[in-house]
Amino acid sequence: MRIKDSRQHVGAVLLVTGLVAASGVAAAVTGPPAFGINPSLGPGQLVAAAAEIPAVDLPHGEISETASQDPIRALQQRLTWTGATTVSMTGEWDEATTNAVRRFQAKQHLHRTGHADAQTVETLRAVAGDGSLDPQCMKPGITLCVNKEQKVLRYVQDQRVLITLDINTGPEKGDKWFGQYSATRLGSFHVFHKAKFEVSNEYGTPLPWFMQFDNGIGFHYSEFFRTEGYNNSSYGCVTTNNKDGLGWVFRHTPLNTSVIVYNTDSA
């Protein structure tokens, strides 16, 4: 979503939002949000501690709802690694597992059957990786950690994942329908402009909870994404369909917060 570079407005944004972050001091998070917490970590549990949970071998091929516990647990573990927030590693196929599979399939543009067919399992294997985050997400302070392949934004504070949100990003190489600046670039950035409500000066699109981090690219809530899902991409911004969730992130993200955009194979 291309808008003008707003670095000159940083002082005004500090006044509007009430965030005193010019010195780079992170805003204190007094408690976890009531939504989007990854149950594999728990509210505020260390990522490093969660990584010590042994990985269950994921078999190749289809995993049926009547499979034994180990294949289902392996599936559930990797769904959790890709940002599923309601799945537990029980080894029992339940409604939450079906919904998580369907959600994963939607993100990867697979048939949304809710069944773990061979294509879904192999895609999950690649996208989940070993469950680790990019090392740059593990530094002290707050990091907005974006995995483009998993289509997940994680709010990480001192190696703790406090909230996980579904996201969409722009097409990898840009797209004629979405403008010259439609690709969401990989790399390390910082939030340099915030506004509770912004409007794109190129597309006229509303941008609630806008946090700008790469030229004209930023985070924002998208009503289009909420209604249309992953049928289309963004104009290059990192968009979410969770307005309340992004509002929480906005309120707890000071200016100059680190943003890391990466793919699983680069973690």
| Closest of 127, 263, 241, 137 to residue 189, by C-alpha | 137
- Is residue 175 within 8 A of residue 233, CB to CB? The reply is yes
Q: Is the pLDDT reported for residue 249 higher than 90?
A: yes
Q: Who wins on pLDDT, 130 or 47?
A: 130
Q: Are strands 238-240 and 160-168 parallel, antiparallel or unpaired?
A: antiparallel
The pLDDT assigned to 12 comes to: 25
Q: Is the pLDDT reported for residue 112 higher than 90?
A: yes
Q: Who wins on pLDDT, 66 or 24?
A: 66
Q: Of the segments 12-26, 32-46, 162-176, which one has the largest average pLDDT value?
A: 162-176
Question: Dmax of the chain from CA atoms?
Answer: 59
Tell me the pLDDT band of 219, cut-offs 50, 70 and 90: very high
**Distances 17 to 172, 251, 258 between C-alpha atoms, Å:** 32, 8, 18
Query: What pTM did the predictor assign?
Result: 0.80
In the beta sheet, which residues pair with residue 132? none
Q: Is the pLDDT reported for residue 259 higher than 50?
A: yes
The pLDDT assigned to 204 comes to: 64
Q: Is the pLDDT reported for residue 11 higher than 50?
A: no
| Helices and strands (H, E) in the chain, number of each type | 7, 9
- Is residue 90 within 8 A of residue 109, CB to CB? The reply is no
The pLDDT assigned to 225 comes to: 86
Q: Is the pLDDT reported for residue 246 higher than 50?
A: yes
What does DSSP assign to residue 165?
Answer: E
In the beta sheet, which residues pair with residue 163? 155
Calculate ∠ Cα 141-80-58, nearest 5°: 130
State pLDDT tens for residues 129-158: 988 899 999 899 999 999 999 999 999 998
The full set of domains in the chain, from first to last, is 7-38+132-266 (2.40.440.10), 52-128 (1.10.101.10)
Rg, C-alpha atoms of the chain: 18
- Interval 12-24 mean pLDDT: 24
Structure tokens at 69: 């516990």
Residue with tokens 């100059």, as numbered in its chain: 256
